Amino acid sequence: MTGGRPAVDRERLRRLPKAELHCHLDGSLRPATMLALAAERSVAMPRPDAEALAAFMEVTDAKNLEDYLARFAVTLSVMQDPAAIARVAEELVLDAAADGVRLLEVRFAPFLSTQQGMTSDEVMAAWLAGMQRGERATGTVARAIVCALRHAPVSQSIAMAELAVAWKGRGVVAFDLAGGEAGHPASAHKAAFDVARRADLAITCHAGEAWGPASVREALLDCGAHRIGHGTRLIEDASLLQYVNDRRIPVEVCLTSNVQTRATPAFAAHPARTFFKRGVVLSLNTDNRLMSGVTLTEEYARAAEHLRFSVADLCVIARQSFESAFTPWEERRALLDAVLPEIDAVRDAR
């Protein structure tokens, strides 16, 4: 024990096979790559070296989710051509693989990279090509979730849903709605969700992060979400939490990000432990490796340190993270067959 907290073996948690289901492409760049891309493209960066840029990009002073989201303008400034998109996508898979991630679902709103003339289809092609390179190099399965953004017009969300449908089966596994939650209800984007639903595409939705359980209710009932991104404030609605648990709807937990955006006042106050004890299906996720300054291994370690998850508990979450993926079931089944003995071995290691 250190300072009253259990000592955590991070190398053991790194070895634990994990699936990461909630990770934003534009929030997960390497600082050194941002500087290299910026230099090649004559784009200004707010800090001149990788260490200072990493510190600048890690959000430690956000008052709310909107403050947190403001950092994304910096990453997007170097994500406006196919070579840059492919590079950051490949590197994310490499970094995740080194972190013990064996299945990675990366999300992004491609229209954000059309500021200098790329089409959304060109963004998709570069994004998927980069992830395929990473997958070939590491064996970590990487799939894409196309995002729409709450504060954008519904016509833009419909365009993103149509893009997701067009690329379904070629690496895209789901559609998501992200962005500032307060004042931008998911129900306003129902027409976009309907496009995805009619094409049998899986759906997740950021909800219950910056707005209360009513947002989760909309995501589930109006938008047809199969998973919930964050879901932190589900804790405020016992009936809805029971519904989520009974229906086995997976909740994509992002501990560090929730502390940063003040969705929860502190790690130890996060409801993830309560959710787990109730039997809710959970995954742990970084949300944004750059803005949160974390790896997935570190998220698992913080769950142990602050919320008293045992290694056995974390092994349950690791298994649930694979089971909850949107990657087609046959692929998931094959991955589960491969990783379950490894998860058991990490659990039983002394």
Q: Which residues are catalytic?
A: 209
Cβ neighbours around 347 below 10 Å, total = 18
Among all chains, which residue has been given the structure tokens 């995501």?
219
- Shortest Å distance, C-beta 106 to Zn ion: 11
Of 137, 89, 142, 140, which Cα lies nearest the Cα of 113?
89
One-letter amino acid of 350:
R
CA 308 – CA 51 distance, rounded (Å)? 31
CA 48 – CA 121 distance, rounded (Å)? 33
CB-wise, 81 or 181, nearer to Zn ion? 181
- Shortest Å distance, C-beta 25 to Zn ion: 11
CB-wise, 8 or 303, nearer to Zn ion? 303
- Shortest Å distance, C-beta 287 to Zn ion: 5
Angle at 255 between CA 252 and CA 257, to 5 degrees: 95
Of 209, 204, 184, 205, which Cα lies nearest the Cα of 261?
209
- Shortest Å distance, C-beta 147 to Zn ion: 9
CB-wise, 203 or 339, nearer to Zn ion? 203
CB-wise, 112 or 343, nearer to Zn ion? 112
CB-wise, 23 or 343, nearer to Zn ion? 23
Residue numbers at the binding site for Zn ion (CB under 5 A): 287
CA 196 – CA 160 distance, rounded (Å)? 9
- Shortest Å distance, C-beta 189 to Zn ion: 16
CA 209 – CA 161 distance, rounded (Å)? 22
